[in-house]
């Protein structure tokens, strides 16, 4: 395998593959809403998701990921279907994380290391798995490392732009 093929398979394709999930995950910070997804309902006296998970954030998050996939599908034909799975999986993972955090009495906005950074990714990849076209093992490792770095950088940036109340 030549150098360019190696770079494509380990770096370029994995970024193109996971980009809809990244966009879906980050969009709710920009398109946040006011109406909580859980309608302020509780389960065993604890909020289901909390105020930070809104209907508008969910809808725009999923749509943003799908739009990225639609653009990518102009060049990589199968990416539209994969982007739908990635975007939905991303939000299922994020909501699962919020649900778990509420059960553990972790306040909304508080950090839960690893869960905050990677649960969306695990769900996104699981939802996309049935559609194939996965990056190589090295490409997946690159995505895991990149996700950790981007999580820190984008959250810090969103905090500095006053889009988030906390830098994590």
Amino acid 92: pLDDT: 98
50: its two tokens: 């909390």
In a domain, 140, yes or no: no
Give the N- to C-terminal CA distance of the chain in Å, as an integer.
Answer: 39
In a domain, 12, yes or no: no
Question: Which residues of the chain are under the pLDDT cut of 70?
Answer: none
**Other CB atoms within 10 Å distance of the CB of residue 77:** 9
Domain interval for residue 73: 19-135
Query: In the chain, how many domains are there?
Result: 1
Q: How far is CA 138 from the centre of its chain?
A: 20
Amino acid 156: pLDDT: 92
In a domain, 167, yes or no: no
* 145 neighbors 117 (Cβ within 8 angstroms): no
Cα–Cα–Cα angle for 147, 151, 155, rounded to 5 degrees: 165
pLDDT tens, position by position, 61-94? 999 999 999 999 999 999 999 999 999 999 999 9
Please state the pTM of the whole predicted model. Answer: 0.94
In a domain, 13, yes or no: no
In a domain, 60, yes or no: yes
In a domain, 146, yes or no: no
């Amino acid at each position: 395998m030549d150098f360019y093929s190696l770079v494509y398979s380990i770096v370029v394709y994995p970024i193109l593959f996971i980009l809809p999930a990244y966009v879906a995950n980050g969009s709710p910070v920009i398109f946040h809403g006011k109406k909580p997804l859980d309608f302020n309902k509780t389960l065993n006296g604890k909020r289901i998701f909390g105020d930070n998970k809104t209907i508008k954030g969910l809808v725009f998050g999923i749509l943003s990921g799908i739009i990225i996939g639609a653009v990518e599908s102009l060049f990589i034909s199968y990416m539209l279907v994969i982007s739908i799975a990635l975007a939905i999986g991303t939000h299922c993972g994020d909501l699962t994380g919020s649900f778990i955090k509420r059960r553990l009495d972790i306040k909304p906005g508080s950090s839960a290391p690893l869960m905050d950074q990677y649960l969306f990714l695990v769900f996104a990849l699981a939802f996309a798995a049935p559609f194939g076209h996965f990056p190589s093992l090295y490409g997946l490792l690159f995505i895991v490392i990149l996700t950790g770095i981007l999580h820190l950088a984008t959250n810090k940036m969103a905090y500095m732009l006053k889009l988030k109340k906390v830098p994590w």
